[in-house]
Amino acid sequence: MKIAVRRTYYGDRLCFPGVVPDALVDVRAAYARMLVVHNGLDRGDAVVRAERSIAADLPSLLRDDAGLEQVRRLHDWVLERAESGDLHDGCTWRDVPELLGPPVGRPHTVWGMSGNYLRDAAEPAAPANQRGFLKAPGALAGPYDDIRYPSISRHVVPEIELAAVIGRRCHRLQREEAMSAVAGYVVLCDIGARDIGALDGRALDRAKGFDTFAVVGPWFVTADEVSDPHKLRIRAWVNGEPRQDGNTSGMLHDIPEQLEWLSSALTLRPGDVVSTGTPPGPAPIEPGDVLRGEIDDLGVLECVVVAESA
């Protein structure tokens, strides 16, 4: 199951992509429609009940129901009714890529792993100690948003990464159980201003925390839809020129190792995002560039780099 976020005049709306051609099915509106069709509820009452029953964002949705069972049943109903006419105009939004928001909403914690892939084939294969950084949730941006190039930086580098979304509250996970805490996956472009990091003594808080420096999307994909998260091709292009072409099989520390290590210190909450590092090849971008990133089975990001106004 895939879940997207569509920006609307009602605010951000959780939606099912890929069910109705050229449209996104509004999750709450579809639930209200199902209540009208099956329970005979008045439409107004159904809308009120849907707003109370279905959370408005992914972290809250996972907090209420880690397995997303209610939403999965609704998704099955939507698939069955896609051609029946039950999903009238009131249940859909036009599929406009530029209006997609980050599907992860506003999680408590966004964590990025550092140095989790070899930079080149000449490096020794022995895994280094794990390390990483907290990334400001305010840096999150949608999959087709502009990337703002900070006026105080001259060296900005994007990195395409697989990110795991946590499904339940967890602390001190053991490797054997760690994957059960993963609700699904997203593509994440982890962007950093490397000159700012150097200026700050290699601290990454500011360097990685600028607005739009965490591009996420295009949708959240549940874990059962990804056969093996450690066998996914990761690619990136800038202005059509290849920059990255790697595979998650190249991780030095796999996802269970990362979650065991990270949760030994942090309590992870539903909706939290753990970005798992990037393969070799990232290179600097400049205002005017077009960045495209893709991971097998998870979709595509495409963003224009714009200079931040003074």
- For the chain, the structural domain boundaries read 2-95, 101-307
pLDDT tens by residue, the chain, 310 residues: 999 999 999 999 999 999 998 999 999 999 999 999 887 888 889 899 999 999 999 999 999 999 999 999 999 999 998 887 778 768 999 999 999 999 999 999 999 999 999 987 556 655 678 999 999 999 999 999 999 999 999 999 999 999 999 999 999 999 999 999 999 999 999 999 999 999 988 888 899 999 999 999 999 999 999 999 999 999 999 999 999 999 999 999 999 999 999 999 999 999 999 999 999 999 999 999 999 999 999 999 999 999 997 5
Type of residue found at 274? V
Predicted model pTM = 0.95
pLDDT of residue 202: 86
Q: Scanning the structure block, which residue is given the tokens 């996914």?
A: 232
Bridge partners of 160, per DSSP, are 189
User: What's the fold here for domain 101-307?
Assistant: Fumarylacetoacetate hydrolase; domain 2 (3.90.850)
Q: What percent of the chain has pLDDT over 90?
A: 86
Long-range contacts of 170-175 (CB under 8 A, 24+ apart): 170/259, 170/263, 170/267, 170/268, 171/263, 171/266, 171/267, 171/268, 172/263, 172/264, 173/259, 173/260, 173/263, 174/260, 175/256, 175/257, 175/260
Q: Which of 275, 228, 221 is nearest to 249 (CA)?
A: 228
Token code pair at residue 168 = 């339940």
- Contact assessment for residue 263 and residue 172, using Cβ atoms and an 8 Å cutoff: yes
- State both tokens at 242: 């290849």
At 128 the pLDDT is: 72
- Please say whether the beta carbons of 15 and 26 come within 8 A: yes
* Helices then strands, each counted (H, E), the chain: 7, 17
CA distance linking residue 130 with residue 111, whole number of Å: 13
Output the DSSP codes for 48-88.
Answer: HHHHHHS-SSHHHHHHH-TT-HHHHHHHHHHHHHTTTS-S-
Retrieve residue 110's tokens: 């966004």
Residue ranges of alpha helices (H) inside the chain are 27-39, 43-53, 58-64, 69-81, 175-178, 194-199, 255-263
